[in-house]
Structure formats: C-alpha cells, structure tokens
Amino acid sequence: MSKGKQKALAKINAVINLTSGVCCHFGITGFTTNEQSLSDSILGIAKAGDLVIRDLGYFALEVFEKMRVKNIYYISRLRYGVQLFKDDVPIDMLKLLNKKQQVDVMVSCGAQRAIANKVGCH
C-alpha cells in the first residue's frame, strides 16, 4: 500500500499459442520492469512461420528485425514518432490512408512491412 491505496507489485509476461491454447511461457517480473526489456524473450520461443501479436509496450525495432530474419511474422501498432521509409523516401502513412481504406507496402525501419487500416468514427 502507498498513501492508503493498493499498488501493483508484479507484472505477468505470458506467451500463449492461440491455436492450441497452450501457455508457452509464463514469467513474473517486478511491476517497474520495462516491457521493451522483455521483448526479445520471444526469440527463444517463436519459430519460422509463427505470427507474434505484440502489445505496443513491446515495440522494439531491433527485435522486429531479428524476427524478420528468422521468418517470424508479427503484428504491432506503430509507435508514435517512428518514421517509415520506402526506397529511402519518408512515407506519410496518414496521407496514404486518406487516399485508400487499406495500405499494404514494404517499408524500411529495419526492412519492415507495414499494413495500415483506416479506423475512425462514422
């Protein structure tokens, strides 16, 4: 307790195979442990052809590049401030999405592929 309020003390880091329902990894860390520092733990678990779905807290370009090299697919939201490039030219993803409902383009920020969908209120 801190100032009379209950505070979290631990964080659970789990990897679950959604097709089988099996928990491949389960770890408990201190609540202050940064998720990015845990992001490369997936490299010892995922295999070529696997799809890894990441929370934005695990966003680490270096780990995405290592997954790409190992032919591990991944989905992540794009962290604010990360610039995407196509043929060394900056891409304005918002501008592209204003022209189309969906964009599927090979980009670099470590030779990553970006697929973007327009999401908004109608």
Q: Give the per-residue pLDDT at 105.
A: 78
* Residues contacting residue 101 through CB under 8 Å, at least 6 positions apart: 117, 118
Would you call 65 exposed, middle or buried from its count of C-beta atoms within 10 A (0-12, 13-18, 19+)? middle
Query: Is residue 2 in a domain?
Result: no
Q: Are residues 91 and 58 part of one domain?
A: no
**Residues found in the chain:** 122
Query: Is residue 119 in a domain?
Result: yes
Give me the chain's average pLDDT, please. 82
CB 54 within 8 A of CB 13: no
Domain coverage including residue 116: 83-122
Q: Are residues 94 and 41 part of one domain?
A: no
- Residue for token pair 């992001």: 39
Q: Is the pLDDT of residue 120 over 90?
A: no
Q: Is the pLDDT of residue 122 over 50?
A: no
CB 31 within 8 A of CB 38: no
Mind listing the pLDDT tens digit for each residue in 18-42? 999 999 889 999 888 888 888 999 9
CB 76 within 8 A of CB 58: yes
Q: Model's pTM, two decimal places? A: 0.70
Q: Which two tokens stand for residue 53?
A: 């779905």
Query: Is residue 1 in a domain?
Result: no
Mind listing the pLDDT tens digit for each residue in 44-75? 999 999 999 988 888 888 898 899 899 998 88
Q: Give the per-residue pLDDT at 102.
A: 82
- Residue for token pair 């270096």: 62
Query: Is residue 74 in a domain?
Result: yes
